[in-house]
Amino acid sequence: MLQKVFILAVSVVTIFGCNNDVEKEMPSTNSNVWFQEPHRPQIHFTPQANWMNDPNGMVYYDGEYHLFYQYYPDSTVWGPMHWGHAVSTDLVHWEHLPIALYPDSLGYIFSGSAVVDHNNSSGLGKDGKPALIAIFTHHDAEGEKAGRNDFQYQSIAYSNDKGRTWTKYEGNPVVPNEKPIRDFRDPKVIWDEMHQQWLMVFAAADRVMFWTSNNLIDWKNTGEFGADVGGHGGVWECPDLFPIQVKETGDTKWVLLLSINPGGPNSGSATQYFVGDFDGNQFTLDPSFVRKVENGRGEWIDYGRDNYAGVTWSDLPRSDHRKIFLGWMSNWDYAQVVPTKNWRSAMTVPREITLHFEDEYYLTFNPVKELKTLYKSEKPDFVGELGKTKISVANPSHIELELPDGKRGGWQLTFSNDKGEEYSLSYDRETNLFSSDRRKSGATAFSEKFAAAVHTGKRASQNYNIPLDIYLDHASIEIFADNGRTVFTEIFFPESPYTTMELRGVEGDVVVHALQSIWEK
Ligand code: FRU
């Protein structure tokens, strides 16, 4: 399959020409160098070639997890947006499929979501089988250039063949931009079981809007949220609103994820969240959460700089009660200039979201258990104490640590290669802050914003050991501290992958598992 898609990509490039250098640098069709280039992630989804940003339309249907994504097939920088497409049967290994949605007379295909229309409420199903419905923003670049304000609106497309081919609905857009509002985009739709309706949330300037429907075609605006709440340092994008059970009490609350660019806790793009209730029309913050977001402060899903525009999967099998999240592992501050050759950007690993209540509501994000199927062997590569000597680690690998909270001051955990390049995470007990430092991580000169500062995140508790769950790859690290309460997702570009790990300040227990590449056949 990979090969087929690639031949198609090359012939399209050859027929229509290509105004950049990518074509010349592409390996030939029968070469096996794909996914082995410098900085190519080994356990993260990447497109075979060219530009990718937000994950879109994540939906599970008939044994397949679909991943669509913002894609520009003609260059390694952002351009007229398409929806790229891949499928997986295990959330770990991905098969690249042909582009699902192309720009059309209504505009580029911006971010959005997809659902299974189980009851054929739209009438777009066929032969008794439900349609897959994609809901996305049409972005009219011409209109924008002409200085209009109504250049974004919500449209739908449907598929009757497991997402392989798509037809745009002839009555598009289904949510025109009447007011108009300049930033009016990124619809995320769910079936709202509690209120028996389709529910759409999207970003509209400095707030989000809620719209409901019985058939995915006719929509009614029921409410909005956020004009004076949370972080407002930039434009609001890619919201996701969903109900979730509170782990400790079994109650149901509603969570709103919201990306913002710029204005993140460590600058640039980042994703904040809110916990509250939804009455079928309006979202209200839980009173206990109001305190948390007073003074324009946000609560953030990640304190690293490379987790943006993430949303959750639709229609997981009924037996799977998880909420599974995937983010774009980059940052608009530098995404278009990172030093990768044939492609740009990767996705985070899929993460399970849990809502907790202990004095207050908070979310945890943890890597999905499916990733453990990548273990090269059940027996760990290393089990023991870390602290006195450096140890070698495989890359990619999964590393679990249990560290004291550092009563004597703190600790520093460093990953390095033999070129003297390194990434470190440290913890300072005095300030109770984690610091993530990629200033000497490898190539950094491509953007002044990439390695200008360390990235900090406050630890929520103290006086307990700190468990760290880490996924290390050639060009990224994802650190889930305190069972996913504080997360750091960071990309980097060392000359060779990090294969040494060292701990200073304390001693702690470590288990390392080498991982297989997801592209290994
Ligand atoms: C977020 C975003 C979305 C938009 C898309 C365009 O990264 O700006 O708001 O739909 O990217 O590619």
CA-CA distance, 515 to 398, in Å (whole number)? 7
Q: Which pTM value belongs to this model?
A: 0.94
pLDDT of residue 57: 98
Longest dimension (CA), the chain: 68
- Residues recognised as catalytic: 54
Candidates 338, 328, 324; CA nearest to 308 is 328
For the Cβ of 212 lying below 6 angstroms from any atom of ligand 1, the answer is: no
Ligand 1, atom 9: closest residue by C-alpha = 237
Ligand 1 atom closest to the CA of 183, numbered from 1: 9
Task: For the beta carbon of residue 464, count every other beta carbon within 10 angstroms.
Answer: 10
- The reply to whether omega before 98 is within 30° of 0 (cis) is no
| 347 Cβ neighbours under 8 A, 6+ residues apart | 44, 45, 46, 55, 67, 69, 326, 327, 328, 329
Residue 447, classified by CB atoms within 10 Å of its CB into exposed (0-12), middle (13-18) or buried (19+), is: middle
> Tokens 């997890």 correspond to what residue?
65
Kindly give the distance from the C-alpha atom of residue 237 to the centroid of ligand 1, in angstroms, as a whole number: 7
| One CATH from 3.40.720.10, 1.10.3720.10, 2.60.120.560, 2.60.40.10 for 375-514 | 2.60.120.560
CB burial of 171-196 (b: ≥16 within 10 Å; e: otherwise) equals ebbbbebeeebbbbbbbbbbbbeeee
- DSSP state letter for 291: H
What is the CA(462)–ligand 1 centre distance, in A? 37
| Residue 291 pLDDT | 82
Tokens representing residue 475 in the block: 């060009």
**Using a 6 Å cutoff on CB, does residue 185 contact ligand 1?**
yes
Tell which one of 56, 109, 110, 201 to mutate to probe ligand 1, the residue whose CB is within 8 A of the most ligand atoms: 110
Cβ of 83 closer than 6 Å to ligand 1, yes or no, is no
Query: Which pLDDT score is estimated for 341?
Result: 93
The minimum-distance atom of ligand 1 relative to the CA of 54 is: 7
Domain boundaries defined on the chain: 2-20+48-334+344-366, 375-514
| Half-sphere exposure in the Cβ direction for 347 (13 Å, CA) | 29
Which of 50, 51, 53, when mutated, tests ligand 1's pocket best, judged by the most ligand atoms within 8 Å of its CB?
Answer: 53
5: three-class secondary structure by DSSP:
helix
Q: Give the CATH H-level superfamily of domain 2-20+48-334+344-366.
A: Glycosyl hydrolase domain; family 43 (2.115.10.20)
Residue 510, beta-bridge partner list: 384, 401
The pLDDT of residue 140 = 98
Q: Which atom of ligand 1 is nearest to the CA of 259?
A: 1
Q: Give the separation between CA 285 and CA 296, rounded to whole angstroms.
A: 14
Task: List CB contacts of 179: < 8 A, sequence separation 6 or more.
Answer: 150
**What are the residues facing 158 on neighbouring strands?**
133, 167
Any ligand 1 atom below 6 A from CB of 70: yes
∠ Cα 515 520 521 (to 5°) = 135
Question: Closest ligand 1 atom, CA of 332?
Answer: 7
Using the 8-state DSSP alphabet, how is residue 104 labeled? B
Q: What is the pLDDT along the chain (521 residues), one digit of tens a residue?
A: 333 333 333 333 333 333 444 444 555 544 567 799 999 999 999 999 999 999 999 999 999 999 999 999 999 999 999 999 999 999 999 999 999 999 999 999 999 999 999 999 999 999 999 999 999 999 999 999 999 999 999 999 999 999 999 999 999 999 999 999 999 999 999 999 999 999 999 999 999 999 999 999 999 999 999 998 988 889 999 999 999 999 999 999 999 999 999 999 999 999 999 999 999 999 999 988 888 887 666 799 999 999 999 999 999 999 999 999 999 999 999 999 999 999 999 999 999 999 999 988 999 999 999 999 999 999 999 999 998 889 999 999 999 999 988 666 899 999 999 999 999 999 999 999 999 999 999 999 999 999 999 999 999 888 789 999 999 999 999 999 999 999 999 999 999 999 999 999 999 999 999 999 999 87
